[in-house]
Structure 1
Amino acid sequence: MKKENYTISAYTENNIGLLNRISSIFSKRHINLDSLTTSVSEIKDVYRFTIVVQVTEDQARKLVGQIEKQIEVIKAFYHKDEETIFQETALFKMASKLLFEDREIQLVIKEHIAHIVTVTPEYFVLEKTGSRQEVELLYDRLEPYGLMQFVRSGRIAITKDKMHISKILENFSIASS
């Protein structure tokens, strides 16, 4: 079977140690995480792990099964890239003199639809939201000018189709009230 990118979404309670237990599921199987993001979900007191891995569909199915065995996990799903809408965000910190003295930087910012977040006499910060490839393209363009700092988020994703988790999460929310 062919390995592909899969986005695994796990809806959970917010308990200490859960991240460690979930990550150990992947490390025991020698599967590298391409991306990991955690956040609150659309339901009060329910959190969402968004994990990107490159595995076969059979492996994705087994990983979801193992994740769901954790007591705090309400439900987990896996999706192929074409079944989701996803983005990443990156911040680039650069010397302010580049912004004011090099017209090329301004063109790169405009061409890549990046946004200036802040400008000080010493530095400016750019924000780019888009696919990993879009962020990497901007990185490649800016890196020769000298990056003071760079950080990129993990993938955030929502499904194109309605997820049937909503009713389960609503019931969980009512039960925990």
Structure 2
Amino acid sequence: METKNKTFTVSIFTENTIGMLNRITIIFTRRHLNIDSITASETEVKNVHRYTIVLKTSESKIDKVIGQIDKLIDVLRVFVHEDNEVIHQEMALYKIKTTELKSNNIEQVVRENNAKVLTVDSDYIVIEKTGHKIETQILFEKLKPFGVLEFACSGRVAVTKPMKELSTYLKDLECNLKTNNTI
């Protein structure tokens, strides 16, 4: 029996090679899984990059996808976590007409939502909010009456709670490779 869909955060550590993101996303596409958000960044280890992918699916489907990703050349390690196992944030930018800055209400909305004004231009202001998706969406709804000209939101950036340092996993991997090559 198929279990209920849950939100998973997949962390994929790879070498920085051309086409890696494409090879990873094709695996999700073939399984008809929709990615809610994706971010890519460098890690604390030189020449190692992290892809953080968020999606809703069942445990059985995520296990199959992780198994396929783990087999890709240049993938060093793959982890999958549920929401309670990660610390995560997103960042959103809101662009509003400068004429609205004169309103005390917008300043109050910014303060109440722990956001900040990044830029004040003659034509527009840009507000930044960091938090969980629901928090950035709530601020979006509150700013709508002021005339949101543009809205952009990053994908999830996450670190895991129960994990050894990546460098420890890489050392273990290197030791295993040396052991397997000398036999």
TM-score, structure 1 normalization: 0.93
SS of 1:148's equivalent? strand
Q: 1:118 and 1:170 mapped to 2: Cα distance?
A: 44
- Deviation string 1:90-139 (CA, Å, 9 cap, x unpaired) is 01111111012x11111110110101111111111110000000000001
- CA change 1:73–1:96 in 2 (3 A) is same
- Look up the match of 1:134: 135
Hey, what does 1:90 align to over in structure 2? Answer: 92
Report Cα offsets for 1:25-79 as digits up to 9, x if no partner: 0111110000100000110100000000101112222111111111010010100
- Aligned positions, number: 173
Amino acid at match of 2:6: E
Q: Does 1:151 align with 2:152?
A: yes
Q: Which of these residues, 60, 74, 77, is aligned with residue 75 of structure 1?
A: 77
Contact 1:50 / 1:155 at 8 angstroms: preserved in 2? yes
- Structure of greater Rg: 2
Contact 2:97–2:124, Cα closer than 8 Å, also in 1: yes
For structure 1, which segment, 59-68 or 23-32, has the greater mean C-alpha deviation from structure 2 after superposition? 59-68
**Sequence identity (%):** 42
Change (3 A) 1:120 1:172: farther
Distance 2:137 2:72 in 1: 35
Report the equivalent of 2:124: 123
Where do residues 1-177 of structure 1 align in structure 2 (5 Å cutoff)? 1-100=3-102, 102-163=103-164, 165-170=166-171
2-side partners of 1:6 and 1:85: how far apart? 13
